[in-house]
Amino acid sequence: MNSTKLFELANNSGGTLYLMAFLMLVALTVIIDRTRHLLNMQHAGESLMALLRKDGHLNSKEAQSLMEQNTDLPHARIVMSIADEQTNLPRETLAGHLEEAIMHEVPLLDRSLWMLDTVITLAPLLGLFGTIIGMFNAFSVLDDIQNAASQVTGGIAEALISTACGLLIAMIGLVFFNWLNTHVRTIVHQMETIKVMLLNRRQHNEPTLHAIRAA
């Protein structure tokens, strides 16, 4: 199928194929951006939890380097949220401060995923709309009795391409939407785990994060 035929199909769909191409571009942009961001975030969370297991004070050079390199990530901001807290505060107070920090971070994790969710819903509807328009064009040739049957059959086949494209976009989007949501839940669990680890180590040790505060 050459480019001329593709443009003809797009025009016969009432322009919906052009809209679906745009939706596919939006979906791919969100998928690539969120995948890269969430994977980096998850990796940083795993590294921070590993350091907390080894060094509850996070005073090692490795810990300082990790915190400095990931200041824009939620795990580091949660740690820093209690860096200047008094060490004699009750555990419940520190837990509340950490929980507040987590609640501020959670809405940022699934940023832009609403766009992918919209594409998943809208693409099949646009495909159906394009098919309906294609059907109108297909049945408009019924006045030509000699070629009506072949033209209608070919027109219906072309019209169904819109529905197929819409369903394909929705299926791709749905797979990645669920996959990205899984990573979001994993990162939220990491933050909750870091909260508990910080509380446990803060309770049983001397003041935490001296070196980070100094930096």
Assess whether pLDDT exceeds 90 at residue 168: yes
Measure Cα distances from 110 to 30, 38, 71, 173, 182 in Å: 11, 9, 19, 15, 11
Q: What local confidence, expressed as pLDDT, does residue 54 receive?
A: 76
Q: Which of 23-32, 45-54, 133-142 has the lowest mean pLDDT?
A: 133-142
pLDDT at 212 over 50: no
The mean pLDDT of 199-210, rounded to a whole number, is 58
Report the percent of the chain where pLDDT is more than 90.
Answer: 27
Query: Does the predicted TM-score (pTM) go above 0.85?
Result: no
Give mean pLDDT, residues 147-168.
Answer: 70
Q: Quick check: 61 and 212 in contact, CB under 8 A? A: no
In terms of residues, how long is the chain?
Answer: 215
The residue with greater pLDDT, 127 or 159, is 127
Q: Residue 118: which pLDDT band, with cuts at 50, 70 and 90? A: very high
d(CA 195, CA 95): 7
**Does pLDDT of 81 surpass 60?**
yes
Question: Could you give the CA distance from residue 91 to residue 199 in angstroms, rounded to a whole number?
Answer: 7
Determine the Cα–Cα distance for residues 58 and 215; give it in Å rounded to an integer. Answer: 13
Q: How far is CA 214 from CA 19, 111, 194, 207, 210, in A?
A: 53, 33, 22, 13, 6
* pLDDT of 71 higher than 60: yes
